[in-house]
Structures are given as C-alpha cells and as structure tokens.
Amino acid sequence: MERRMRTDPAAWLIIPSTLLAALVLELFPWPDLLDPWQPPWLLLTVLFWAIRRPDTVGMSIAWIAGLILDVALGSPLGTHALLFTLATTMTLVAQRMLLALSMIQQALWVAFLTLLQQAFLLLMDGHASAEKLMLMSLAPALSALLAWPVINIALMNPQRRLERGR
C-alpha cells in the first residue's frame, strides 16, 4: 500500500470507493454496437488519482487495480496489471507537468495511454494487422478523451475533501 494511504483515514474510504465504482462501470455490459466505445473507467480513475494524489495512488495501487480487472475479465493474469502500472509510471513521471496542463491537454495524454494499452491488448489477442489494430484501438482512446472531463468533474469533489483533510 502506498505510504500516504496508511496515514490518511479519509483516503481509505474515498479512493477505494471511487476505484470500486470505476470497476463496476468497467464491467457493466454495453450494447454490442457501443461496446468498442466503452471508456477504460478503471484506468482513467487510477490515472486521475495518480495525477492528483501521487503520494497515495502509485504503481502498487495501479498493479492491484489491474490485477483485479484481469480476474474480473478473465484475461491473462497480469496483463492489465502490467499495463496499468506502465501507464501510471508514465503519468507519475509527468505528474507535475500534467497538473499544469488544461483538462483537454490531460485528456489527450490519457487518450494516448489508452491507445497504447488497447494496441497492446489487441496484439496479445492476435489482431496483428496494422489497420485493424488502429481502428480497434481508436474507439476506446476517443472515448477516454471524452470521458476524462467526466472523470475529473466526478472525482474533483472527493479529491477536494481529501485535500482539506491533509
């Protein structure tokens, strides 16, 4: 568990609750036509907290969230865990810069990470053609781009509560 999570009682309630809600959204079935457009809710939530609370949500939380998603989806164990950890690591490295960027610029960053994640997942599934990879990776990346402001608005109030408790 991250260092700050151990000392901040509010973080024990708020952050896991938002991650659980994101997991439920991630697992919620979408109609077949819209399914490729489902945003990666859990990844977006992990990245939000990594940007806003890097002392609380880091690589270990990302790994655990990804591992739980692997189990829930029945995907090869460690796939999402590795991808979440890599995306979180890249985000933590750029965290100060990301805080200074506008929400739209942050959304572009998140869309880029989602594109990388989706491309890797599709490669693992055996979808090797470049055209198919690009088309199948683009929908979740675009939906992540659109969902990022929603995540920010939804999680800003809980994040402010945590800030007041510091």
Question: Each residue of 19-59: pLDDT tens digit?
Answer: 999 999 999 999 998 988 999 999 999 999 999 999 999 99
Contact 158, 11 (CB under 8 A): no
Task: Classify the C-alpha dihedral 46-48-49-51 as positive or negative.
Answer: positive
Instruction: Identify the pLDDT of residue 123.
Output: 83
Mean pLDDT per 10-residue interval, the chain, length 166 residues: 58 92 96 92 98 95 98 96 99 98 98 94 75 78 98 93 75
CA–CA dist 62, 16 (Å, integer): 12
Instruction: Identify the pLDDT of residue 133.
Output: 66
Buried b (16+ CB within 10 A) or exposed e, 98-112: beeeeeeebbbbbbe
Residue 46, token pair as written in the block: 């992990």
CA–CA dist 52, 22 (Å, integer): 17
Instruction: Identify the pLDDT of residue 126.
Output: 77
CATH topology of domain 3-165: Arp2/3 complex 21 kDa subunit ARPC3 (1.10.1760)
